[in-house]
Structure 1
């Protein structure tokens, strides 16, 4: 079966970024890449802050943050009054967990596709409160209907207080049927926290269409915002129960201000985040989504072919706009986190290529991303050189 053709490049898109041209950056999903015009907007805000810090922090900053919040919430299809800016999705998860009031006998349910730092946060909160953490196993080959049924069977009404589910998994690049899962949980009286770290900018689904009690998403990955920009969206019944991890001067103002205001934090990332959405809209949101997903699919096939992986064994991400794809590595490679990190570093050093090497279910996986600054020949070069590097065990 032939490899599907790559998409036509978006003219001028590569020039929007300051990435090192000597390196193939095929791992946008980890830390993103900030367009130059966004970098400059943030630097202007930093210059303003340093020119008169007292004025910057005390005259209108809260209003400026609220304005940025409303802009971002509108793009995401979220209620601005129920949206709070935060540092990253993991911080938002920690806020939710410590606001729940978990007690002995309560249970937090996650899946084996969850993000590692989120799992650590759940484990710590359960240790602190005496609650229980339980993990559902989702086979990578499961259909949407099968996933929903596994979740339905795994809920324990009266005991399961919170279900944490990924909208798009990080380790396995899998788009889960989130809205259907939320519906099942609601039928059983279970609250849901959706980890949508990769959703903003990549996925067209709105926050409202998901309908979760809590939704967290990063803007610095696929929304072209500076790093340190994320949102926590909270359903109305929960908003007054949300408490910040650190109490500061806006505590009495309620949600979302009590969560956002952290005194001398650097707010320039949040204030310049709307410029990232401007860059995305200038390129064409739908155009970028289609380009990135098509390019990631091309990379998956050419690298998979090079490693001898049949097309039928390449995982399907489950959605037409998913711009991350998995390629299984040969058996015995990257089976532990340390081994995965070592292989990722070796690929970066010897092949001048940044990729994500993941460990999941006892096997190593290569996660490839597609972004407007990438080109088909970068995946071709990786496919041509990677087999020899992997053979050097």
Structure 2
């Protein structure tokens, strides 16, 4: 089989970012990269805030946040009255968990593809309330139909008080059939939290079309917003039950303001986020998605070939627009969290390449992303040098 052809670069896209050109930034999925225009918009807001903090926080800020929320909700295809801006997807998940009113004997069901910080939040809330956490194993190569059937079999109606599933999985770069899973859970009366941390900007799917009780997603990854910008979307029946992690002055206003307002929080990332959405739209969302997905597929193949991984053993993401791809590392490499972190640091230090390395189900995995600032040569250089680094132990 031939290596997939890399896409043509988007003219001028690299110049939109202030990334260090001496480093190959192949891990957009972890922290994103903020375009220069968005950075400048946020800095203007910071300058406004510091010029007169009292005026900034007390004269119209709640209205500005509301206007921004409506703009971002429209981009997500979500009900603005059911959308609250939060710092990140993990924060949104924590808000949902502590608002459920879990009791002893209740259960929170997750899959083994979930994000680690969300798993910590589940464990803490279960430990605090006496509920239990149960993890559902899902094979990496499972089809969408198989995933849905596994979830169906894993639900315990009456006991399962929340199912958490990822829209795009972080450790395994896999697209889950979120809407179908929500449909199955609804048949059994189980509410669902969809972790869409990687979805905004990377997928064209609207939040409303998924139909989840709760959905959280970051805009500071694939939608070019400043870091610290995410959305928590709550279906109408649950909104009055949602409580913030910290109570502040908008508590009596109800959801979503009671969740958004945290007094002296820095709100400039949220207020500048529409500039990130504008940047994406200026480039053309479909064009960006196609470019990034093709580039990630190219990177997966050339690095996989360099490591001697047969094409048939390279995981498929389950969707044609995913800009995240997985490459299995050799047996015995990065099989623990600490080892994975150490390998990621070695690759960064010695190969000047930023990648994601995870330990999942007893094996080490390399996750590569494609973004408009990347070029094929960056993946080629990593492929040429990585085998030697791994051989050095």
TM-score of the superposition, structure 1-length normalised?
Answer: 1.00
User: Aligned partners of 2:337, 2:316: CA distance in 1, in Å?
Assistant: 23
Alignment of 1:73-92 (within 5 A): 73-92=73-92
User: Aligned partners of 1:10, 1:27: CA distance in 2, in Å?
Assistant: 19
Question: Corresponding residue for 1:129?
Answer: 129
**Deviation string, structure 1 residues 213-258 (Cα, Å, up to 9, x no partner):** 0000000000100000000000000001000000000000000000
Partner SS state of residue 357, structure 2:
strand
User: Aligned partners of 1:317, 1:253: CA distance in 2, in Å?
Assistant: 42
**Deviation string, structure 1 residues 49-101 (Cα, Å, up to 9, x no partner):** 00011110011000100111001000000000000000000000000000000
Alignment of 1:106-255 (within 5 A): 106-255=106-255
Partner SS state of residue 71, structure 1:
helix
Shift of 1:336: 0.4
**Deviation string, structure 1 residues 325-356 (Cα, Å, up to 9, x no partner):** 00000000000000000000000000000000
User: Aligned partners of 1:136, 1:4: CA distance in 2, in Å?
Assistant: 34
Q: Which runs of 4+ in 1 moved over 2 A?
A: none
Shift of 1:111: 0.4
User: Aligned partners of 2:240, 2:330: CA distance in 1, in Å?
Assistant: 50
1:321 lines up with 2:355 in the alignment = no
Alignment of 1:30-45 (within 5 A): 30-45=30-45
Shift of 1:15: 0.1
User: Aligned partners of 1:57, 1:217: CA distance in 2, in Å?
Assistant: 26
**Deviation string, structure 1 residues 298-347 (Cα, Å, up to 9, x no partner):** 00000000000000000000001100000000000000000000000000
Partner SS state of residue 4, structure 1:
coil
User: Aligned partners of 1:335, 1:388: CA distance in 2, in Å?
Assistant: 19
User: Aligned partners of 1:245, 1:329: CA distance in 2, in Å?
Assistant: 39
Question: Corresponding residue for 1:50?
Answer: 50
Shift of 1:105: 1.1
Partner SS state of residue 372, structure 1:
coil
TM-score of the superposition, structure 2-length normalised?
Answer: 1.00
Partner SS state of residue 325, structure 2:
strand
Question: Corresponding residue for 2:257?
Answer: 257
User: Aligned partners of 1:302, 1:209: CA distance in 2, in Å?
Assistant: 36
User: Aligned partners of 1:298, 1:68: CA distance in 2, in Å?
Assistant: 37
Shift of 1:144: 0.5
Question: Corresponding residue for 2:268?
Answer: 268
User: Aligned partners of 1:4, 1:109: CA distance in 2, in Å?
Assistant: 38
User: Aligned partners of 1:334, 1:136: CA distance in 2, in Å?
Assistant: 23
User: Aligned partners of 2:165, 2:365: CA distance in 1, in Å?
Assistant: 21
Partner SS state of residue 243, structure 1:
coil
Partner SS state of residue 182, structure 2:
helix
User: Aligned partners of 1:58, 1:205: CA distance in 2, in Å?
Assistant: 37
User: Aligned partners of 2:58, 2:132: CA distance in 1, in Å?
Assistant: 43
Question: Corresponding residue for 1:371?
Answer: 371
Which structure 2 segments of 5+ residues have no match? none
